[in-house]
Chains A and B, each alone.
Chain A
Amino acid sequence: MTFEEAIIKSVKAYLDGEMPTELLGASKESKYTPEYFDELEEELMKEPKKNKKEVEDEE
Chain B
Amino acid sequence: MKSNPQTPRAPIPGANYTTDTRNYPWHRPPDITDMDKAIEYVTKDLNDGPDGFRYMSMLGAGIPVTMVTDFIVTKGIGRGKWAPDLGILAAGPIARLLIIMAKTYGVEYEVAVEEKISLRSSQTLRELSGETELTPVPVEEEPGEEPEGFMAAPEEEQNSMLGYDEDTEELEDE
Contact = CB atoms under 8 A, between A and B. Distances in A.
Interface of A: 3-8, 10-15, 20, 23, 27, 30-32, 34, 37, 40-41, 44-45
Given A4-B70, A10-B91, A37 B117 contact: no
Given A11-B65, A45-B104, A37 B35 contact: no
Given A4-B117, A41-B103, A23 B35 contact: yes
The 10 closest A-B pairs by CB, nearest first: A14-B92, A12-B113, A10-B91, A11-B95, A37-B96, A32-B93, A7-B91, A7-B70, A41-B100, A32-B39
A19 to B, nearest CB: 8
Contact of A11 (B74, B100, B111, B116): B111
B164 to A, nearest CB: 51
B36 A32 contact: yes
Interface in B103-120: 103-104, 111-113, 116-117
A52 B152 CA distance: 77
Interface in B1-56: 34-36, 39
B89 interface: yes
A4 B35 CA distance: 19
A30 B36 contact: yes
B88 interface: yes
A43 B69 CA distance: 23
A31 B111 CA distance: 23
B113 to A, nearest CB: 4
Contact of B89 (A8, A23, A41, A45): A23
Interface string B83-101: 0100011011101110010
Contacts of A45: 103-104
Contacts of A34: 96
B89 A15 contact: no
B35 A27 contact: yes
A10 B100 contact: no
B73 interface: yes
A56 B63 CA distance: 36
A20 B151 CA distance: 62
